[in-house]
């Protein structure tokens, strides 16, 4: 089934970034894929309202991930965020700040699990509108 929406992916693992980008584009999403938190910060400064969802590796170097996620959520009140990591991540503070707009996806995940999480979070965002 074809999907629609605009997704920002931020991950420092080139092969995973490429896989997520290719898969999400193949099922119909428009994707911007970046490999640093600094690039993501700048991308959102240029037009935060164009993204429906940000998919962020929660264990990257650079700007602290909670700070980046909070910045994205504040810059675009309609955006949702999925943090990914191979390790447990405490999402309580972000969930408190943006109830229903933050989720966590444990790595490794399958393309189907990725698509399901993205659909669910973009669907949650659409219900709020």
**Is residue 1 in some structural domain?**
no
Cα-to-chain-centroid distance, residue 15: 17
Instruction: Compute the distance between CA of residue 114 and CA of residue 106 in angstroms, rounded to an integer.
Output: 10
Task: Encode 94-115: b = buried (16+ Cβ within 10 Å), e = exposed.
Answer: beeebeebbbbbeeebeeeebb
Q: Can you give the CATH number for the domain in which 56 is found?
A: 3.40.50.2300
The domain tally of the chain equals 1
Which range of residues forms the domain containing residue 43? Answer: 6-128
pLDDT tens track for 24-61: 999 999 999 999 999 998 888 877 678 999 999 988 88
CA angle 67/70/71 to nearest 5° reads: 85
Q: Where are the alpha helices (DSSP H) in 46-110?
A: 65-75, 92-97
Global pTM?
A: 0.88
pLDDT tens track for 9-26: 999 999 999 999 999 999
């Amino acid at each position: 089934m074809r999907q629609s929406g605009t997704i920002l992916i931020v991950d420092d693992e080139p092969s995973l970034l490429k896989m997520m980008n290719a898969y999400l584009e193949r099922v119909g999403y428009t994707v911007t894929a970046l490999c640093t938190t600094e690039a993501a910060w700048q991308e959102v400064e240029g037009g935060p309202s164009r993204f429906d969802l940000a998919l962020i590796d929660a264990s990257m170097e650079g700007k602290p991930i909670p700070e980046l996620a909070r910045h994205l959520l504040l810059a675009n009140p309609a955006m949702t965020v999925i943090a990914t990591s191979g390790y447990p991540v405490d999402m309580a503070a972000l969930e408190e700040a943006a109830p229903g707009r933050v989720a966590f996806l444990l790595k490794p995940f399958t393309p189907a699990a990725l698509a399901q999480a993205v659909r669910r979070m973009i669907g949650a965002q659409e219900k709020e509108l």
